[in-house]
C-alpha cells in the first residue's frame, strides 16, 4: 500500500455559536471563536490517498488529478468565504474544524474512488497548534 498526499491552504471566516445557549455560555465554551462578527483562519489542508501502484502508470493516483479534485470541490468552494453563511454543505452545522474535516471527507471520498484510489486521511490545521485528523471512521 502506497500513500500520497496533497497539501492546500485556504482562508475562511466562521463563528462558533449555539443558539440554545446565552451569550455568556457561548463565550465560556467557545471563547473568542464566538465573536459575533466572526473571525478568520488560514487553514492548512492535507488530503492523503492510498492504494496500489498501477503498473501501467506507476501512480496510485495522478497527483495532478488529486490537485484538481481538491481544488474544484473544496478549496474553490470555501476559500475567502464565511463558513457559517456562504457554504451550502455547512448549512445548519457548527463550523468546527472537526465538522469541516468530516464534510470534506464526504465530498472527496467518492471523487477519489472514481480514480481507483481510497481516501485515507483528511488533516485540517486551523492554526499551527490545532490540528484535526479524520480517517473516515
Q: How far, rounded to the nearest angstrom, does the alpha carbon of residue 108 sit from its chain's CA centroid?
A: 9
User: Could you list the active site residues?
Assistant: 33, 80, 126
Are 96 and 89 spatial neighbours (Cβ–Cβ below 8 Å)? no
Place of cell 463550523: 95
For residue 35, give the DSSP letter. -
Helix (H, G, I), strand (E, B) or coil at 84: coil
> Could you give the strand order of the β-sheet that contains 2-14, starting from the edge strand earlier in sequence?
81-82, 2-14, 39-51, 118-125, 131-134
CA-CA distance, 135 to 106, in Å (whole number)? 11
Amino acid at each position: 500500500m502506497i500513500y500520497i498526499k496533497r497539501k492546500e491552504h485556504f482562508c475562511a471566516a466562521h463563528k462558533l455559536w449555539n443558539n440554545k445557549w446565552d451569550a455568556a455560555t457561548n463565550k465560556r465554551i467557545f471563547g473568542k471563536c464566538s465573536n459575533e462578527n466572526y473571525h478568520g483562519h488560514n487553514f492548512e489542508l492535507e488530503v492523503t490517498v492510498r492504494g496500489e501502484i498501477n503498473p501501467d502508470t506507476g501512480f496510485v493516483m495522478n497527483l495532478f488529478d488529486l490537485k484538481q479534485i481538491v481544488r474544484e470541490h473544496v478549496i474553490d468552494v470555501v476559500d475567502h468565504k464565511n463558513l457559517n453563511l456562504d457554504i451550502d454543505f455547512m448549512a445548519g452545522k457548527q463550523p468546527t474544524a472537526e465538522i469541516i474535516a468530516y464534510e470534506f471527507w464526504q465530498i472527496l471520498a467518492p471523487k477519489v474512488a472514481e480514480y481507483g484510489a481510497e481516501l485515507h486521511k483528511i488533516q485540517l490545521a486551523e492554526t499551527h497548534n490545532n490540528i484535526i485528523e479524520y480517517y473516515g471512521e
